[in-house]
Amino acid sequence: MSLRRIKTRPTREPTIALINVVFLMLVFFLIAGAVAAPLDPRVTLVETAELDGRAPPDAAVVLADGSLLLDGQVTTPAELAASGPVLRLVPDRALPANDLVILARALREAGVEEVWIVTERGLE
């Protein structure tokens, strides 16, 4: 009685599926990056390193002279506090840190629960 050997083919990796997923992710991030609104051109961001941040689609801009902008319109801390419990601030690099701390404290006293400072991530 002779037994035949069954030849097994090696299974191939599904590389086409992997390429498709990577391509779709690339297209998604290209579109998502193009949808984000640009910051006010008068602002230069503060540089920090190794700090988690959030994207600023609804952030208020603090110019170097201390004036506040929300969606390009001049506003006050009381009006910003009415916009919601979480507020994101994008300070100008030339804004003194003491002024930023005073502003954040005033926002917290006006009812804002969380104040996030949005900065530019520094490269090491």
Q: Structural domain tally of the chain? A: 1
Q: pTM, whole model, 2 decimals? A: 0.54
Residue range 63-77, pLDDT digits in tens: 989 888 888 888 888
pLDDT at 55: 44
The structure tokens 């998502």 sit at 32
Query: How many angstroms separate the CA atoms of 25 and 23, rounded?
Result: 5
To the nearest whole percent, how much of the chain has pLDDT over 70? 83
DSSP state of 66: S
Q: What is the CB neighbour count within 10 angstroms for residue 112?
A: 20
Does residue 117 lie in a domain region? Answer: yes
Query: How many angstroms separate the CA atoms of 25 and 117, rounded?
Result: 29
Query: How many angstroms separate the CA atoms of 51 and 45, rounded?
Result: 14
Q: Record the tokens describing residue 84, joined without a space.
A: 């919601």
Q: Record the tokens describing residue 86, joined without a space.
A: 């979480």
Q: Range of 98's domain?
A: 47-121
pLDDT at 24: 93
Is 58 within 8 Å of 90 (Cβ atoms)? no
3-state class of 44 per DSSP?
A: coil
pLDDT at 22: 92
